[in-house]
Structure 1
Amino acid sequence: MPGPETAEGCEGVTVAVALPGELVVRCAHGADARQALDSTGLAVHAGRGEGPYGDRAYVCRINNFPTAADDDCAGHEDGAPYWKVWRVGLAPVAWRTSQTGDGPAGVAVCPGSLVGFSFGGEMPVGPEQVITTPGWLPPRC
């Protein structure tokens, strides 16, 4: 996977999105991970909310991945791959799955923070490869 573009000097939220074959890193703004993702300029497509959870705000596609042929965005289903939201935890500084029932809208972010998105798997690089500022630690939001 090619190295990420950087968001060094970002005065907002750094958003890292693992797309097939690339890691896209953008400086964004918002009070939660969904708002930050929506402000990156990437094409974000929400689901229709017809599945068992009825969540219209879930992230179905980012930059047309997965394709409409692979996911019709009707609704998130148990056991199916989905866009995972990652936050950064301490001791050690590492990705932690968000574990919220509200998806990305339930993950608070603030200036200086880092949030990640990956489809069906782990983040392909560690947080220290996205924000390379020596001594960076995630702020308390």
Structure 2
Amino acid sequence: MKRMRLLAAALAVVATVLVAPAGGASAAPQRLGTAGYCPNANGVTVVVDYQGLGFATEIRCAPGDQATGLAALENAGFVVTGTDRWGKAFICRINGQPTPAAEPCKNTPPASAYWSYWHAPNGGSWTYSQSGATARKPPLGSFEGWSFSQNAGPTTNPPPRVAPVRP
């Protein structure tokens, strides 16, 4: 019985060490991925073009094989908010944009203001994705693009303004 209590206490200490964040509870979360283009074909380059939202286009690398477009977006270091109703099946915000005042993210974002999803091979052209980010697996070395589409229709959504070419 004493052995069981000692074992339970030891396991509790190990669990606390494994779960507690390094540096205490106030430690900032580490941003995944790396800034800029993936240096080679061993990753997926992710481009987020805020278009009319007033922010600079961000380019980050999700290293290694990515299971889905959503995984690439998050593994590149972007913070993603889905909708209350559909979760991340519908991307509502990327890095907090558009703001909650502009879009409450309760249901599917409107067709007149949403994050359009694009993909391209290195050196190719952007193609509007016919499947959602949770259903598409980006090939190694490819580009994933997100462009905020505002006041555009299904045939006039703007692709990202960065060419999908690794420097």
TM-score (norm 1): 0.73
CA contact (8 A) 2:92 2:109 kept: no
Distance verdict in 2 for CA 1:77–1:25, change over 3 Å: closer
The aligned length equals 119
CA contact (8 A) 1:82 1:119 kept: yes
The CA deviation string for residues 26-61 of structure 1, in whole angstroms up to 9 with x for no partner, is: 111521101111112222111112xxxxx3221111
The CA deviation string for residues 74-102 of structure 1, in whole angstroms up to 9 with x for no partner, is: 11155331111101169x921010012xx
The amino acid that maps onto 2:77 is G
Indicate the structure whose relative CO is greater, using CA pairs within 8 Å and at least 6 residues apart.
Answer: 1
CA distance in 1 between partners of 2:38 and 2:57 (Å): 12
CA distance in 1 between partners of 2:161 and 2:111 (Å): 21
**Hey, what does 1:135 align to over in structure 2?**
none
Give the percent of matched residue pairs that are identical in Structure 1 and Structure 2. 29
Q: Within 5 Å, give how 1:65-84 maps onto structure 2.
A: 65-84=97-116
CA contact (8 A) 1:13 1:110 kept: yes
Corresponding residue SS for 1:106: coil
CA contact (8 A) 1:12 1:27 kept: yes
TM-score (norm 2): 0.63
1:6 aligns with one of 27, 30, 37: 37
CA distance in 2 between partners of 1:94 and 1:18 (Å): 16
Distance verdict in 2 for CA 1:59–1:105, change over 3 Å: same
1:94 aligns with one of 102, 115, 125: 125
**Hey, what does 2:162 align to over in structure 1?**
125
1:22 aligns with one of 44, 49, 56: 56
Corresponding residue SS for 1:94: coil
Corresponding residue SS for 2:92: strand
Distance verdict in 2 for CA 1:117–1:77, change over 3 Å: closer
**Hey, what does 1:105 align to over in structure 2?**
134
Corresponding residue SS for 1:84: strand
CA contact (8 A) 1:5 1:23 kept: no
Gaps of 5+ in 1: 50-54, 133-141
Q: Which has the higher strand share?
A: 1
CA distance in 2 between partners of 1:39 and 1:116 (Å): 14
Shift of 1:10: 5.8
